[in-house]
Structures are given as C-alpha cells and as structure tokens.
C-alpha cells in the first residue's frame, strides 16, 4: 500500500477542496506536539490548520517570529514535514531559492519526485514590515510557492511591539498610552494583502482568511497551493497575550473582527475580488474593541475614528453596508 | 556609465564561437569575471542569484547570456538586492542545488546578516566577489575591506591574482566546500578592475576533465519531503558553545581537504599551486612583501627588478584569509628579518594603525622564536594602482628594517610617506 506522501511525490495532483469541518478534522496532522506556544495561541492554530491543508508533499519556511521561537527547540521541531528557518528579513528570498532549486533539479534530472508545495509562514513583521522587500520580490518573480502571512498585529515574540499591521489605538510596549498620546498607536495599519495584489499584476491568487473560519481558511491554503506561481494567504491570527484576551475568547475575537468589518475575508482570483462575509449589517466596532485589553484606554472619539476607518475600508471594497459611527 | 560592464558583455560576444567548445585545453582571452563565468558554466551550477553593482556584474551578464543561449541549464534569479541574493542562494543550496551569487563593495556588506546563517547551515554556496571600496565616497576602485568585513561570518575566503587563478579557484573552491568533511560556503575573491576587467590568457580544460575533478553535489540534508528534516531551530542554554565548536572544527578541518584538492588539481591540470601560500623568490630572501590578491602581479615584477639590483627581497602571497593558514605562515614568515604587509584595506583605529592582514600576521608570529620586524603598507586605497616605484619604496623600507632591526612606523601610507 502506498502512502499519501508516495502518491503525491510520484504524481502531482491538485489538493481537493474541503466541503465541511468533518473532512478537515479527518486530515492528518503535520504540525504536531513539541512546541511551546501560549494557551489559545492564534498563530499556532493557523499553523496547524495550514499544515493539515498542505499535506505531506510540503516544505515550510519559518522566518524569525513567534512561530520560530515558540515552535522550535534544538533537535525538537513540531513539524512532520521539512522545515527551515530563515531570517525575519528574507523569507521571500529563501523560498525563491528553494523553488528555483527544485525547478532546476527536476529539469536536469537531479531530483526524482514531483515539485513540492513550498510555504512561507511569516508573521506580520516578516511579511509587511521588515520582510516586505523579499516578499514582494518573490511575488514579482512569480516563484511557485505560497506566502502565508499569519497576522497577529504586532511583534509578539519580542514582547508585544508595534508592527506595520498593528491597528490605530492599540497598546503595545512601543506605543503605550499616556496623557500626551491618549490613543496609544497613532498610525493606521498597512493594507498588506491588497497592497501586494496591486503591486504584482501577475499574481494569480491571493486571499484573506481567519482562524475563526477554519474550512474557508484551509480551502484558501489549498487553492493557493494548487496555483502554479506565487500565491498569498493573509490569515488573521489572534494573539491572546498581546491583545489582552483569555484563551477562550480567541475564536470569538476573530469572528468579531470579521463581523465588524475590521478584517475582510476575501479571495482575489482572475483579477476579481470576492468577499466571503457580506451580512445584512456589520456590527459596530465597539463590540470588537471592548473585549480586548489593548484598546481599554480608548475614549469614545477614538472608537469613532476607528469606525470611520472601517467604514472607509468597506466602501473601498464596494461593500455598501456602512455602520453608523457610535 | 556602464562602459566597463558592457565591455565584459562584448568580450563574451566575441567569445561566441568558443563558448561551449570542448577543445582540450582551449586557450581563451578572458577577464577575471569571464574566467569565473566559464568555470561556473563548466561546474554546471543550478541556481544563480543576481543584482547589479560594479564591478562584479559582468559575471552575471555572462551567465545570463549562457543561459539564454542554452549553454548552461540555469535558474537565473534576479534578486531584490544583495541581501535577497544571499537569501536565494541560501534557499537553493538548502534544497540541494549547486548555487552561486556574487557582489562588490557596499553590496557585499548589505548582505551581512545572511552570511552566518548560510555558513552555520553548512550550505556550500559560492560567491564571486570583485572587490570595491565601501562608501563614502562613491568610488569604483578595488579595496579588500568589503570581503574582509565578512571574515568572521564562517565563510572560506581567498583571493586570486590572475584570471587563470580565478578560473581554477572557482572549481577548487566548489570541490573543497562541497566535500562531506567540510560543507562550507566560499568567497571567491578577485580585485575589481585589476583582475575582474583586464583580460589575460586563460587555459580552459575540457568538460570531461572538469567533470572528473568536480562531481555533482550530493547534499545529504537537503530539504526534501521524502526525508523531512528541520534546518536551524532555536537552541537552549548549554548548546551554543557546542554548535560554535562544530563550526570552528569544520573550518579548521578544511586544511587537509584544501591540501588534497589543490594537489589533485595540480596533478590533473598540470598546474603548480601551493595549496595555501605562494612564495616568490623567497628561498634566500631576507625580507619580504606579504600580500593577498591582484597587486601581487605587479609586486612580482617589482621583486624581479629589485633582485636585479642585488636586494634580497621576496614576495609571500597568501591564497587564503579564511581559514588563515597559521602554521604554514609561521614556518614561512618566521625565517625572515623583516616583513611588510601590503594592506589593500582599512581598519580604522586598529592596533598599530594598520589594516586587517597585519593583525593576522602579527598574531601568527607571536608564538615564533624569531620575530621579524613587522610593518604595514597602506597601499592601493581607493582602488589606486600600486605602482612599481611604490613597491621599490616598500623594498627600501624593508631593506633598512632588516639592517636596523626596526622601522620608523608601524604603518606607512603609500602616497604620503613615500613622497
């Protein structure tokens, strides 16, 4: 009897899409025991789901970040597939090299298997901040690889510092609130996934997903893997420690991010955006903000400013369901 | 602006008929970069990562042309900068490909973060470096400070002094770096312009000869779903010194491999390289110029001329800076009365106000019973030519030092103290 790996290495077949959570649960685990992440860690869950979706004919790259430091101990890593550390700066470059190596080695008869699915699993810093140059170059060159940005909206591993994805008004250890700066962080975050799509017209597939919608997320990972060329998945991965949440609030918080229009679930395919969450009405952002300690210092005027930012974002997406500012 | 690089391209164009030729011992007229490109073609590299910066760019132009013509089956990946270039080479090598990249000057140091992960990952990447000054100011000339700045990052590091030696080193470095006893990346350095852009006669062996000298890379820990491994996890307290020790041992373990590989190369290709250190007219010399890189070419002429005048001078050229051949150099250098180190680099505020090589030479001699007088010649800075009359001046200083047993200065600045 041949194993799933042997089947996949002998002849490359597209990863089938999942119909429901039961099919997802039945998939084998390739992100396993041996890590040291916090209780309720959103990025760890996003890793586990991505590895289940990816299957055994995969290589994962981990630039420095939580999912490097909290996952690996020398001689003990929690992956049942090949994994490699990269610098936080250059995951896009290293994955390009691996992809190019497989292209050359298979073409020259130096490797006998099929082309593996090669994933970068980078935090928001390693994607949208210090890592953006290499990430952009990988997408520009259209290497056959998948770039997953697990977005916990801060540098959590180093002690909750602001990144380019940290939202306006959030407390971090680099943006503490005080009498002179009552709102804590003053800048609005980058729109990473859409920015990358705009920069790279050759990109065939990109998606934004959330750990609170696991089947949607895993299917987006599989679609990204099935593309021949560079693909991007931006996954919202809540950090309970950095955001001031209890472990059992993590998935609720992820849902509220989507239900308030703070984080959009979308797919970009064949030059078109589709939005997976379009309710009759979005909830006011206050419901999302009030459960997180990182926003506890905000005044009503700050909530209003955030609501206006969200409304503008929805408008830009063509989602015509504005929410009254509270 | 790009005249020099265009010439290299044109040079390649003129070589069209000879590209891919397999005439035994074909003689070509090649620049240092041309020599590197032909050797890389014959080494059947799998992945090259490029980014333009003078003067090394020509090697990438030639490789891209070879790939376009189908003379080399190559993944030519254009990096987003030197940092990305090294990342691409790191990934390619980790996935089992024979990978190369290259750079010059500020490009070499822009990639600084990635050198140690590559050597610590034991990835046998080769980097072609044509030296260039660091900024400021903007200057295209050759200074070795760029590549020497990486000397503590775990890469093998050596200089050629002719295009022929560049060609030969390219093959020898891969064979040494890919040896299962070693697995280390290599910096294959040549002086910008003096070597990289001045064509000389280069004997190019047949593809069969190269194949028998340099077998395909077999990297046992390549990233491969059929053999899942983790590369580069975090360590705990108590593990760091062990890992550092294995890296040092890998570097120190290169000595017998270098010896074996260079001797095998000499046997196969009829060359006469010393594995570590070239000694030119040193057998009865009382004082010597110590040098690394392309200025040795002029230095040898100068030694010839000074010998004609009866001076007992020689020239010692190290072929390696990492690993530093301490024992070999201690044996060679301790028998002289005076040594002058030609520094085509700068280390601002270093001991003795000298450059980087003098520090290594002084440390090498520290344990020797006979300690020659040691001084430095800060020469060729800003990429200046080191002229024959400047070598004569160095010879006079050394002759005087050998007679007196001392020198006036720990470092002589050529262009100031000799005028």
Cβ(B174)–Cβ(B124) under 8 Å?
Answer: yes
Backbone phi, then psi, for B322, in 5-degree steps? -135, 120
Residue B271 inside a domain? The answer is no
Q: Are strands B26-30 and A266-269 parallel, antiparallel or unpaired?
A: unpaired
Which residue in A59, A74, A92 is closest to B236 by CB distance?
A: A74
User: What pLDDT digit, counting tens, does each position of B59-111 carry?
Assistant: 999 999 999 999 999 999 999 999 999 999 999 999 999 999 999 999 999 99
Output Rg (C-alpha) for chain A, integer angstroms. Answer: 19
Cβ distance B234 to A74 less than 8 Å, yes or no, reads yes
Nearest-CA neighbor of A79 among A10, A31, A46, A120? A31
Helix H or strand E encompassing B375: strand B373-378
DSSP of B27-89, one letter per residue? EEEE-HHHHHHHHHHHTT-SEEEE---TTTHHHHHHHHHHHHHTSS--EEEE-SSHHHHHHHH
Cβ(B98)–Cβ(B44) under 8 Å?
Answer: yes
Task: Summarize the confidence of residues B148-168 as an average pLDDT.
Answer: 98
Cβ distance B91 to A101 less than 8 Å, yes or no, reads yes
Least confident of A120-124, B17-21, B120-124, B321-325: B17-21
**Residue to test with chain A: of B87, B211, B222, B236, most A Cβ within 10 A:** B87
Task: Summarize the confidence of residues A152-180 as an average pLDDT.
Answer: 98
Chain B residue closest to A10 (CA)?
B226
Verify that B236 and B314 share a domain, yes or no.
no
Task: Summarize the confidence of residues B374-386 as an average pLDDT.
Answer: 96
Cβ(B338)–Cβ(B372) under 8 Å?
Answer: yes
Residue B250 inside a domain? The answer is yes
User: What pLDDT digit, counting tens, does each position of A8-25 carry?
Assistant: 777 778 999 999 999 999
3-state secondary structure of B176: helix
Helix H or strand E encompassing B278: strand B277-280
Verify that B297 and B249 share a domain, yes or no.
no
Chain A residues touching residue B229 (CB < 8 angstroms): 82-83
Structure tokens at B12: 């390649």
Indicate whether A102 pLDDT > 90.
yes
Look up the CATH number of the domain holding residue B394.
3.40.50.920
Q: What pLDDT, on the 0 to 100 scale, is given for residue B17?
A: 37
Q: What pLDDT, on the 0 to 100 scale, is given for residue A280?
A: 87
Pairs of CB atoms within 8 A across A/B: 179
Cβ distance A72 to B93 less than 8 Å, yes or no, reads no
Cβ distance A97 to B113 less than 8 Å, yes or no, reads no
Nearest-CA neighbor of A94 among B124, B113, B88, B97? B88
Cβ distance B235 to A81 less than 8 Å, yes or no, reads no
Helix H or strand E encompassing B90: helix B82-94
Cβ distance B117 to A95 less than 8 Å, yes or no, reads no
**Residue to test with chain B: of A74, A97, A132, A225, most B Cβ within 10 A:** A97
3-class DSSP string for chain A:
CCCHHHHHHHCCCCCCCCCCHHHHHHCCCCECCCCCCCCCCHHHHHHHHHHHHHCCCEEEEEECCHHHHCCCECCECCECCCEEEECCCCHHHHHHHHHHHHHHHHHCCCCCCCCCEEEEEEEHHHHHHCCHHHHHHHHHHCCCEEEEEEECCCECCCCCECCCCCCCCCCECCECCCCCCCCCCCCCCCCHHHHHHHHCCCCCEEEEEECCCHHHHHHHHHHHHHCCCEEEEEEECCCHHHHCCCHHHHHHHHHHHHHCCCCCCEEEECCEEEECCCCCCCCCCHHHHCCCHHHCCCCHHHHHHHHHHHHHHHHHCCCCCCCCCC
Percentage with pLDDT > 90 across chain A: 89
Verify that B370 and B258 share a domain, yes or no.
no
Task: Summarize the confidence of residues A160-182 as an average pLDDT.
Answer: 98
The vertex-A145 CA angle with A101 and A117, nearest 5°, equals: 80
Cβ(B192)–Cβ(B56) under 8 Å?
Answer: yes
Indicate whether B7 pLDDT > 70.
no
Burial class (CB in 10 A: 0-12, 13-18, 19+), A122: buried
Verify that B249 and B281 share a domain, yes or no.
no
Indicate whether B57 pLDDT > 60.
yes
Boundaries of domain holding B376? 277-413
Q: Which letter, b or e, does each residue of A218-250 get, where b requires 16 or more Cβ atoms within 10 Å of its Cβ?
A: bbbbbbbbbbebbbbbbbbbbbbbbbbbeeebb
CA distance B320 to B357: 11
The Cα-based distances of B207 to A39, B23, B43, B70, B203 in angstroms read 59, 9, 9, 16, 13
Residue B321 inside a domain? The answer is yes
Indicate whether B235 pLDDT > 70.
yes
Interface predicted TM-score (ipTM) of this complex, two decimals: 0.95
Look up the CATH number of the domain holding residue B13.
3.40.50.970
Residue B249 inside a domain? The answer is yes
Which residue in B73, B80, B225 is closest to A134 by CB distance?
A: B80
Q: What pLDDT, on the 0 to 100 scale, is given for residue A278?
A: 87
Task: Summarize the confidence of residues A239-257 as an average pLDDT.
Answer: 98
Structure tokens at A256: 């509220």
Output Rg (C-alpha) for chain B, integer angstroms. Answer: 21
Average pLDDT score, chain A: 95
Q: What pLDDT, on the 0 to 100 scale, is given for residue B8?
A: 41
Verify that B359 and B236 share a domain, yes or no.
no
Q: Are strands A117-123 and B156-159 parallel, antiparallel or unpaired?
A: unpaired
Verify that B121 and B43 share a domain, yes or no.
yes
Domain boundary among B266, B298, B313: B266
Structure tokens at B419: 């005028």
Domain boundary among B205, B237, B266: B266
Q: What pLDDT, on the 0 to 100 scale, is given for residue A322?
A: 56
Verify that B225 and B284 share a domain, yes or no.
no
Residue B418 inside a domain? The answer is no
Domain boundary among B245, B266, B287: B266
Verify that B247 and B381 share a domain, yes or no.
no
CA B150 to chain A, closest CA, distance in angstroms equals: 17
Verify that B125 and B223 share a domain, yes or no.
yes
Residue B348 inside a domain? The answer is yes
Verify that B374 and B242 share a domain, yes or no.
no
Verify that B171 and B51 share a domain, yes or no.
yes
CA A109 to chain B, closest CA, distance in angstroms equals: 11
Q: Confidence class of residue B13 from pLDDT cuts 50, 70 and 90?
A: very low
Cβ distance B99 to A102 less than 8 Å, yes or no, reads no
This prediction's pTM: 0.94
CA distance B272 to B255: 18
CA distance A83 to A71: 11
Percentage with pLDDT > 70 across chain B: 94
Looking at the 3D structure of chain B, how many domains does it have?
Answer: 2
Verify that B368 and B405 share a domain, yes or no.
yes
CA distance B44 to A46: 40
More confident residue, B5 or B329: B329
Which residue is it, tokens 């995951």? A91
CA B114 to chain CA centroid, Å, is: 19
The vertex-B310 CA angle with B304 and B314, nearest 5°, equals: 45
Residue B282 CB coordination number (10 Å)? 18
Q: Which DSSP letter does residue B118 get?
A: H
CA B114 to chain A, closest CA, distance in angstroms equals: 8
Indicate whether B4 pLDDT > 70.
no
Which residue in A9, A94, A100 is closest to B226 by CB distance?
A: A9
User: What pLDDT digit, counting tens, does each position of A196-240 carry?
Assistant: 999 999 999 999 999 999 999 999 999 999 999 999 999 999 999
CA distance A175 to B20: 61
CA B216 to chain A, closest CA, distance in angstroms equals: 9
3-state secondary structure of B395: helix
Residue B201 inside a domain? The answer is yes
Residue B1 inside a domain? The answer is no
Cβ distance B233 to A86 less than 8 Å, yes or no, reads no
* All domains of chain A in start order, with CATH: 4-316 (3.40.50.970)
Helix H or strand E encompassing B209: helix B207-213
């Amino acid at each position: 009897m041949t194993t799933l790996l042997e089947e996949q290495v002998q002849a490359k077949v597209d990863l089938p899409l999942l119909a429901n959570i039961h099919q997802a649960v039945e998939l084998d685990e390739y992100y396993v025991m041996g890590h040291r992440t916090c209780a309720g860690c959103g990025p760890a869950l996003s890793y586990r789901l991505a590895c289940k979706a990816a299957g055994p004919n995969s290589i994962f790259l981990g630039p420095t970040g939580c999912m490097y430091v909290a996952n690996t101990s020398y001689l003990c890593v929690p992956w049942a597939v090949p994994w490699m550390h990269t610098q936080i700066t250059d995951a896009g470059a290293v994955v390009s090299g691996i992809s190019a190596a497989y292209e050359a080695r298979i073409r020259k008869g130096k490797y006998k298997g099929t082309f593996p699915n090669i994933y970068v699993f980078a935090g928001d810093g390693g994607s949208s901040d210090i890592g953006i140059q290499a990430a952009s170059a990988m997408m520009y060159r259209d290497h056959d690889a998948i770039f997953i940005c697990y977005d916990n909206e801060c540098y959590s591993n180093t002690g909750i510092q602001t990144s380019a994805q940290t939202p306006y008004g959030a407390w971090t250890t680099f943006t503490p609130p005080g009498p002179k700066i009552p709102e804590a962080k003053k800048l609005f975050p980058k729109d990473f996934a859409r920015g990358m799509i705009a920069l790279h017209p050759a990109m065939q597939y990109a998606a934004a997903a959330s750990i609170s919608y696991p089947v949607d997320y895993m299917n987006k990972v599989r679609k990204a893997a099935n593309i021949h060329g560079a693909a991007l998945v931006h996954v919202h991965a809540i950090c309970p420690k950095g955001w001031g949440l209890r472990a059992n609030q993590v998935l609720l918080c992820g849902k509220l991010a989507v239900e308030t229009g703070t984080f959009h679930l979308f797919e970009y395919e064949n030059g078109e955006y589709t939005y997976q969450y379009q309710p009759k009405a979005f909830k006011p952002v206050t419901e999302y903000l009030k459960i997180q300690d990182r926003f506890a210092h905000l005044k009503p005027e700050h909530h209003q400013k955030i609501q206006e930012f969200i409304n503008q974002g929805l408008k830009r997406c063509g989602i015509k369901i504005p929410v009254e500012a509270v | 602006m790009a005249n020099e690089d265009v010439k290299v391209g044109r040079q390649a164009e003129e070589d069209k008929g000879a590209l891919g030729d397999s005439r035994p011992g074909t003689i070509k007229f090649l620049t240092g970069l041309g020599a590197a490109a032909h050797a890389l073609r014959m080494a059947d590299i799998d992945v090259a990562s490029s980014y333009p910066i003078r003067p090394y760019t020509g090697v990438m132009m030639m490789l891209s042309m070879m790939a376009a013509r189908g003379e080399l089956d190559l993944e030519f990946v254009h990096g987003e900068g030197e940092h990305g270039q090294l990342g691409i080479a790191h990934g390619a090598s980790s996935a089992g490909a024979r990978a190369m990249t290259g750079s010059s000057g500020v490009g070499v140091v822009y990639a600084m973060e990635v050198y140690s992960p590559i050597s610590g990952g034991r990835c046998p990447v080769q980097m072609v470096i044509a030296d260039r000054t660091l900024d400021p100011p903007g200057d295209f000339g050759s200074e070795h400070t760029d590549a020497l700045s990486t000397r503590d990052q775990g890469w093998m590091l050596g200089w050629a002094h002719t295009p022929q030696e560049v060609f030969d080193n390219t093959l020898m470095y891969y064979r040494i770096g890919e040896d299962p006893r070693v697995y280390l990346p290599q910096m294959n350095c040549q002086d910008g312009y003096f070597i990289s852009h001045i064509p000389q006669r280069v004997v190019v062996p047949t593809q069969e000869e190269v194949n028998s000298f340099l077998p395909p890379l077999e990297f046992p820990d390549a990233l491969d779903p059929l053999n899942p491994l983790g590369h580069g996890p975090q360590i705990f307290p108590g593990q760091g010194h062990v890992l550092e020790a294995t890296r040092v041992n890998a570097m120190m373990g290169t000595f017998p491999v270098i010896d074996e590989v260079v001797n095998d190369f000499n046997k196969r290709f009829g060359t006469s390289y010393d594995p570590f250190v070239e000694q030119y007219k040193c057998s009865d010399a009382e004082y010597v110029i110590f040098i690394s890189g392309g200025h040795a070419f002029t230095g040898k002429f100068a030694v010839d001329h000074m010998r004609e005048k009866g001076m007992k001078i020689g020239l010692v050229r190290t072929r390696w800076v990492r690993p530093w051949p301490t024992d070999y150099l201690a044996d060679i250098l301790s028998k002289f009365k005076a040594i002058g180190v030609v520094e085509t680099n700068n280390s601002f505020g270093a001991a003795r106000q000298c450059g980087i090589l003098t520090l290594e030479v002084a440390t090498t001699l520290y344990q020797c019973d006979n300690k020659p007088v040691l001084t430095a010649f800060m020469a060729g800075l800003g990429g200046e030519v080191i002229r024959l009359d400047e070598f004569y001046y160095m010879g006079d200083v050394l002759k005087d030092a050998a007679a007196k047993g001392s020198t006036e200065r720990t470092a002589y600045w050529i262009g100031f103290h000799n005028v």
